[in-house]
Structure 1
Amino acid sequence: MALAAARFFGRRAAPPPGEGTRIMDKDRIKGTAKQAEGAVKEGFGKLTGDKALEVEGKIEKVEGKVQKTYGQAKDDLRKA
């Protein structure tokens, strides 16, 4: 009944527990943050001409991508 009423009034009903809910793995979030941090370091290294900082930023970006991929794999296994 609540679902029919929600549709009638143009609102979405909340999905049942465990259905349609997406919880992103912590590694995906941390990996994305690490990629962003690496991009900032790389850009700042390019701007200042600091090759060591630029390389450090590139390494962090790759580390972040690996961590994000690992989190995605964990999410996929959880869904299966």
Structure 2
Amino acid sequence: MPLSNKPPSASRKLFAERLRAERKARRLSLEDLGELSGLSWNYIGQVERSQRNVSVDHMDALARALGVQLYELLMADAAPMGARGSLDATS
């Protein structure tokens, strides 16, 4: 999937910010998250910089790798789960 030429939407920016916050709260590198999610670290970095228009399937893979529900990565005022405990992403 090519880099997006469109300016990022507010939702894409929010997802990118929340993804980075969750990853950092768990002290994971991009490489670590790549291994856990099955996605390349380079791609994840582009998602975190709002350069990729990420698919729902990839959003789900990233959420599962972080142990959070996908909707939590789209909530503007949520504290990183790594800072407040973790929920099982499969429940």
- The structure in which a higher percent of residues are helix is 1
Report the TM-score when normalising by structure 1. Answer: 0.31
Q: Which has the larger radius of gyration?
A: 1
Report the TM-score when normalising by structure 2. Answer: 0.28
